[in-house]
Structures are given as C-alpha cells and as structure tokens.
Amino acid sequence: MNLEIAGPRNELDGETDDSPAEVDPMADRLQRWFRRPNQEQLMRELNLRVEERGRERARIARELHDTVFQGFLGAMLQLHDAVDRVPADSPTKPSLSRALCLIQRVLEEGRVALQGLRCSGIASMSLEQALCGIQDEFVSTGARFRILVNGEPKPLKPAVQEQISLIGREALVNAMRHSKATSIEAEVEYLPRRLRVVVRDNGCGIDPQVVQFGRDAHWGLIGMRERAESIGAQFRIWSRPGAGTEVEISIPIHMVAEACA
C-alpha cells in the first residue's frame, strides 16, 4: 500500500490554491524554514540510539555469557566425560557423540553471537571488509560466495555502518544456513544519492508468510527490520519458494557518508 501525503501545490513559489491574496513573505519563509528536517538533530538522535543499543547489547552479552553459555559449557563437559566412559562398541555411543557434536556447534555459534554483540570492530573496517569476514563460514556449505562493489567507496559513519554490516551479515548467514543455495552474493552499491547493500541467493526461497510476519522463536528478519528502522534505512525482501531471495538495505548517502575534510 502506497501512502502519499500531499501539501499545497506550488508552495515553493508562494502560490497555493485558496491562498490569501496577500502573504507576508517573511512569515512564509520562517514557516518553510521550521518545516525543514533538522539533519544535525536527526543525527544526534541516531547516535544516541546507537550508543544506547550498544550498552544494551553489552548487557545482554554479559547475561548470556554468565547464564546460558556457561550452562551449555558445563553440560558439554559432562557429556564429553560420559562419552569417554562409554565402551567403543556400545550402541549408544554414536548417539551420544552426535549430541556432543551438536552442543559443541551450538557453543561455537554462541561464541560468534557473543562476539557480534560485544564487538565494535566492524566499524573500524570498510563495509566490504566487514561482509567479507563471513566468507570462511561458507567453506562447509559448498556454496559460491562473492562480494561485488559498484561505484566509488566512501568512508562511512561508524555507528551507521555497523548497523548496515550487521544487517548484511544476518542476511548472509540466513542464506548460508537455510536457502540451500549454490550461489550467494552481496553487492555494495555507492550511488550519488544512496547507499545500497543487496544480498541475493539462488536457493529455495522463503514462504511469503515468513517474509511478512517472521518465524516463531526466530528473530533474524525482525532484528534486521528493527536495525534498518533505527538508522532510517529502507529494508526490503523479495522472495518466492524455489526462486531464491534478495534482501536490500538502502539509505540516503548523506545519512551514512562521513563529511569530507
């Protein structure tokens, strides 16, 4: 659904329908000035939200490490001891070994998640480098992975770049884990007026209901939308079962590019 809010026509040259015959030019100029979006104020508010989000992420990381992560680690150590005690010819040993491998994988994914919550290093590298950092995780999937860069790369505001990087990374991880794709790529496009990041795959696609409403107990799509909203970016998903998926993040370049010295 497209929603359009229209103002008076010809407002910039002082002509409107049903306007008074005489308009005070100074009053009209002042009204138009105060209707302009204050970009400095918007960026201050954005930086405050990002700082608050960073503090909250650090708090969540500490709580996860001290509760869930430590609990899994303790369970893994006990299970590892139990597997070592079971005779090699026992019929239960393969099942126990698989359970141990599963816990080890969950712990490894948990370490990655905790690092993502705590780490602010994403903002210290370029957007392309941040997205390339995930390529080692594609080795086990057999999928072809590549990064495309179009346009002239620009230095980006660290706080905004971090959120875009995390959205892109989440989209790549989702494609890697769920799409069964043979080809996955991320495209970073520096346009004159906008920055676009597109993640696409040739996999199995996503059910339209999941695209619209998300999946129970899975926060990936919801989290990406919330991150995009927090920085004033547009977030879109195109997908059809059996036809792959494309995720796009788009934001005006003046909101993300660092001012030239």
* Fold adopted by 121-256: Heat Shock Protein 90 (3.30.565)
pLDDT in tens, 7-52: 333 433 444 444 444 556 666 665 655 555 566 676 677 777 767 7
CB 248 within 8 A of CB 211: no
Q: Which sequence spans correspond to the domains of the chain?
A: 42-118, 121-256
Instruction: Tell me the C-alpha distance between 175 and 145, whole Å.
Output: 11
Span 200-255, pLDDT tens digits: 999 998 877 777 666 654 557 888 888 899 889 999 999 888 889 999 999 999 88
Round to whole Å and give the CA distance between 85 and 68.
26
What burial class does residue 245 get, using C-beta atoms within 10 Å of its C-beta: 0-12 exposed, 13-18 middle, 19+ buried? Answer: buried
Residue 207: C-alpha distances to residues 103, 236, 245 (Å)? 29, 15, 10
* pLDDT tens-digit map of 127-182: 888 888 777 666 666 788 899 999 998 888 888 888 898 899 889 988 888 888 99
* Cβ atoms of 146 and 185 closer than 8 Å: yes
- Contact in structure between 142 and 242 (CB atoms under 8 Å): no
Q: Which residues lie across from 145 on neighbouring strands?
A: 184
Let me know: does 222 contact 170? Beta carbons within 8 Å.
no
Question: pLDDT grade, residue 115 (50/70/90)?
Answer: low
pLDDT at 4: 36
